[in-house]
C-alpha cells in the first residue's frame, strides 16, 4: 500500500471544501489526493490544482491509507459496502456524514477496518474549521494520524460519539449563526453611514479579532467584554439594548432548537 494516498469519495460541497483546505494546508505534498464525483467534470478546478479526479470510486480507494466518505448520509452505508473489497487492509475510514453512527459504519465495512466520524464545518476550505472527531477501537497511531490530518485544517476536538450532535450544532450550524450576526451588523453599519464593502470588512475582522482573543489567550468572553464596556459608555448602551431585545436568549433558544432537531431525526 502506498502510505501517501488519500481518497475523498464525494466531491460535492463538503468534499470539495475539504479538498480546497488540504491544498491550502499543503497536504498535497504529503498525500496523493484522489477525489471522485459522479460528474467528474465539476472537479476540474481541483484537477487544475494537482488533485487526481474522476468518477471511479474503486480506483480512488485502491492503495489509499485514508478514505474520507463525503457522500450524503443516506448513501454512506451503500457506498462503503461497495468499496470494502477494494480497500487496503490497514485503511482508515473517516465518515463526514451527520447521523451515521460508528456502529453502522462498522457493520457496513464488515467490522474489518478502523472507522472514524469527523464533522468539520465549511471553514475547512480556508483551514479554519472546527472538526469534531470520534472513533471506536482506534489505535493511538490511528488517532494521531486523523488528528494530524484535521489539525492542518483548523481545530480538532476528539469527543465521545454521544456528543457529536451537540458539536455539530455548535460548530457546523454555528457557522450560519455567526454569519447571520455578521449580516445584521453589516446592515446596521450601512444604516449608520458606512459603505457595504467597508462594513463587511470591519465586521468580519472584528469578529475574527474577538475570536482570536479567546483562542490565543485564556480569557472568558465576559472578561474581554468588560475591557470595552466603560461606565456610561456607548458599548454598554448597545449591549443592554441588544439584551432587552433578547440577544443572548435568542441565541441559546436557536442552538437548543437545532439540537432538538438532530435528536428527532
Flag whether pLDDT at 128 surpasses 80.
yes
Share of the chain above pLDDT 90, in %: 94
Q: Is 17 annotated as a binding residue?
A: no
Q: Is 70 annotated as a binding residue?
A: yes
- Is the alpha carbon torsion for 54, 35, 6, 27 positive or negative? positive
- Is the alpha carbon torsion for 91, 167, 17, 207 positive or negative? negative
Say how far residue 190 (Cα) sits from the centre of its chain: 31
Flag whether pLDDT at 265 surpasses 80.
no
| DSSP β-bridge partners for residue 104 | none
Q: Is 44 annotated as a binding residue?
A: no
Which band of pLDDT confidence, cut at 50, 70 and 90, is reported for residue 137? confident
Q: If you average pLDDT over residues 81-90, what whole number do you get?
A: 95
Q: Is 232 annotated as a binding residue?
A: no
pLDDT at 150: 97
Q: Is 13 annotated as a binding residue?
A: yes
Calculate the average pLDDT of the chain.
95
Q: If you average pLDDT over residues 21-48, what whole number do you get?
A: 96
Residues 157 and 132 sit within 8 Å (Cβ to Cβ): yes
Say how far residue 38 (Cα) sits from the centre of its chain: 23
Flag whether pLDDT at 2 surpasses 80.
no
Q: If you average pLDDT over residues 88-101, what whole number do you get?
A: 94
Give the torsion through C-alpha atoms of 132, 133, 134, 140, to 10 deg.
-140
Q: If you average pLDDT over residues 110-139, what whole number do you get?
A: 95
Instruction: Please give the sequence-ordered ranges of beta strands (E in DSSP) within 10-126, or none if there are none.
Output: 32-36, 52-54, 66-69, 92-95, 114-119
Tell me the domain boundaries of the chain: 5-159, 167-264
pLDDT at 163: 96
Instruction: Please give the sequence-ordered ranges of beta strands (E in DSSP) within the chain, or none if there are none.
Output: 5-9, 32-36, 52-54, 66-69, 92-95, 114-119, 129-136, 154-158
CATH class for the domain made up of 167-264: mainly alpha
Q: Is 39 annotated as a binding residue?
A: no
Q: Is 103 annotated as a binding residue?
A: no
Q: Is 251 annotated as a binding residue?
A: no
Residues 95 and 115 sit within 8 Å (Cβ to Cβ): yes
- Say yes or no: domain 5-159 is CATH 3.40.50.720: yes
Q: If you average pLDDT over residues 229-240, what whole number do you get?
A: 96
pLDDT at 104: 96
Q: Is 11 annotated as a binding residue?
A: yes
Q: If you average pLDDT over residues 20-26, what whole number do you get?
A: 96
Amino acid at each position: 500500500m502506498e502510505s501517501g494516498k488519500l481518497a475523498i469519495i464525494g466531491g460535492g460541497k463538503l468534499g470539495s471544501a475539504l479538498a480546497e483546505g488540504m491544498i491550502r494546508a499543503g497536504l498535497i505534498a504529503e498525500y496523493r489526493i484522489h477525489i471522485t464525483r459522479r460528474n467528474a467534470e465539476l472537479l476540474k478546478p481541483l484537477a487544475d490544482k494537482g488533485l487526481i479526479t474522476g468518477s471511479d470510486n474503486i480506483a480512488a480507494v485502491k492503495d489509499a491509507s485514508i478514505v474520507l466518505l463525503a457522500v450524503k448520509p443516506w448513501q454512506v452505508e451503500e457506498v462503503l459496502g461497495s468499496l470494502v473489497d477494494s480497500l487496503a487492509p490497514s485503511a482508515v475510514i473517516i465518515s463526514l456524514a451527520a447521523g451515521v453512527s460508528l456502529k453502522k459504519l462498522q457493520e457496513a465495512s464488515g467490522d474489518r477496518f478502523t472507522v472514524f466520524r469527523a464533522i468539520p464545518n465549511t471553514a475547512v476550505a480556508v483551514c479554519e474549521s472546527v472538526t469534531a472527531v470520534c472513533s471506536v477501537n482506534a489505535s493511538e497511531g490511528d488517532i494521531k494520524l486523523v488528528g494530524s490530518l484535521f489539525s492542518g485544517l483548523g481545530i480538532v476536538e476528539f469527543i465521545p460519539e454521544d456528543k457529536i450532535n451537540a458539536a455539530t450544532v455548535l460548530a457546523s450550524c454555528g457557522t450560519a449563526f455567526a454569519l447571520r450576526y455578521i449580516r445584521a451588523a453589516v446592515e446596521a453599519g450601512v444604516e449608520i453611514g458606512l459603505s457595504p464593502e467597508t462594513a463587511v470588512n470591519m465586521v468580519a475582522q472584528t469578529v475574527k479579532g474577538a475570536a482570536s482573543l479567546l483562542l490565543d489567550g485564556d480569557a472568558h468572553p465576559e472578561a474581554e467584554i468588560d475591557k470595552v464596556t466603560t461606565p456610561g459608555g456607548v458599548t454598554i448602551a448597545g449591549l443592554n439594548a441588544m439584551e432587552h431585545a433578547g440577544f443572548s436568549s435568542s441565541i441559546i433558544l436557536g442552538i437548543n432548537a437545532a439540537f432538538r432537531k438532530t435528536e428527532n431525526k
